[in-house]
Structure 1
């Protein structure tokens, strides 16, 4: 939820200006875009100051509390490999491009291309 507070000041960095500021329902703070992330399970904004974090597929995920983190861990363990890979799309895209690059190199070295 985006909130207009009339002050336009982030509680973490005290930056003021014309950006978008979000209200963290977890701790009640107003935060700038750089201190706001999306909570992984709920899909709502959460500030980086109060979020519980953990890395999944080398990508940091943000959670309201330890209970949400544990719930996601359970879901993550049951995910098939292709869904786990989608937790970090830049890494997955890089891996695919790397494999394709190696494949093209091998095929061109062997004279097939």
Structure 2
């Protein structure tokens, strides 16, 4: 409707390091992140063929990655799953951080149990 691009951002960080990460470990994690984003977006491009989709997979903390992509955005949409042991929380830490620091409107969308 607004002829705007949709930028889908998936960020990932290294697990707690037990030692220096091998390049092959980082490449494997990057591959898994690429696959995760592709799976999450499967079918939506066919359903909305007129929307230009840009996929971004970044090795960074979610709040930082999304804030950097929020510059110049019309809207940031972030999901919340209650990660971190607080399943009952309506708003996760990433969503809360974005609400306070994003330079544009933020929509926090609660994921349904079947997703």
- Higher relative CO (Cα under 8 Å, sequence separation at least 6) belongs to 2
TM-score under structure 2 length normalisation: 0.27
Instruction: Give TM-score scaled by structure 1 length.
Output: 0.27
Which structure has more helix as a fraction of its residues?
Answer: 1
Say which one has the larger Rg: 1
